[in-house]
């Protein structure tokens, strides 16, 4: 088992321009507030936006909350990432299944979790909705959802390490 200080976390959505960069920024902020030194990165299961920056609506939403994703460049999740990251947190079931189908052994599969489910979300809300085809209100709703559940997510990771 790795030391808690050395954890590496990937947050994953489809294109790596909306949800996962937002989750990365929020997770990094909360980790920093707790004095933890975990590494966090984001990835996409698809390659449509590889090399692109985060969606401008995601950047603006984060900026309104004093967080930054202007540095972000979309990357596709690679098979090597299974060995790089200790925790792989996905936004929805479609991306969960996409990564599980690529995992070559049970250890790889055991790293993959739905972000909200691992955070303890009860009831029907187990997936982070994709705001891509919506307006700024959709991005704000995703931000608030991620901000609400991220502290619990960190607590649950700490409890399992």
For residue 111, give the CATH number of its domain. Answer: 3.40.50.2300
pLDDT at 37 over 90: yes
- Which of 78, 61, 69, 68 is closest to 10 using CA atoms? 78
Catalytic residue among 55, 86, 92, 130: 130
pLDDT at 5 over 90: no
pTM of the complete model:
0.95
Contact 58, 42 (CB under 8 A): no
pLDDT at 34 over 60: yes
Q: What is the pLDDT of residue 109?
A: 98
Q: What is the pLDDT of residue 1?
A: 44
| Residue 13 is a catalytic residue | yes
Catalytic residue among 18, 19, 43, 92: 19
Total domain count, the chain: 1
| Residue 66 is a catalytic residue | no
* Mean pLDDT, all residues of the chain: 96
pLDDT at 20 over 90: yes
How far is 133 from 149, CA to CA, in rounded Å?
23
DSSP letter for each residue of 29-80: HHHHHTT---EEEEEESS-TTTTPPPPHHHHHHHHHTT---TT----B--TT
pLDDT band at 2 (very low <50, low <70, confident <90, very high): low
Catalytic residue among 13, 43, 55, 92: 13
Q: What is the pLDDT of residue 148?
A: 97
pLDDT band at 3 (very low <50, low <70, confident <90, very high): low
Residue 66, number of CB atoms within 10 A of its CB = 7
| Residue 126 is a catalytic residue | no
- Segment 49-69 mean pLDDT: 98
| 114 beta partners | 90
Residue-range definition of the domain harbouring residue 35: 4-160
């Amino acid at each position: 088992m790795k030391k808690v200080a050395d954890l590496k976390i990937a947050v994953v959505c489809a294109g790596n321009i909306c949800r996962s960069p937002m989750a990365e920024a929020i997770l990094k902020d909360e980790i920093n507030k707790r004095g933890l030194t975990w590494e966090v990165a984001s990835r996409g299961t698809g390659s449509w936006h590889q090399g692109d920056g985060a969606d401008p609506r995601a950047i603006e939403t984060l900026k309104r909350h004093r967080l930054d994703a202007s540095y972000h460049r979309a990357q596709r999740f690679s098979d090597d990432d299974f060995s790089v990251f200790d925790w792989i947190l996905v936004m929805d079931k479609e991306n969960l299944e996409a990564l599980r189908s690529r995992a070559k052994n049970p250890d790889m599969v055991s790293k993959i979790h739905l972000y909200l489910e691992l955070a303890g979300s009860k009831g029907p809300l187990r997936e982070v909705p994709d705001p891509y085809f919506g307006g700024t209100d959709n991005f704000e709703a995703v931000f608030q959802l991620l901000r609400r559940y991220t502290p619990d997510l960190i607590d649950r990771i700490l409890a399992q390490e």
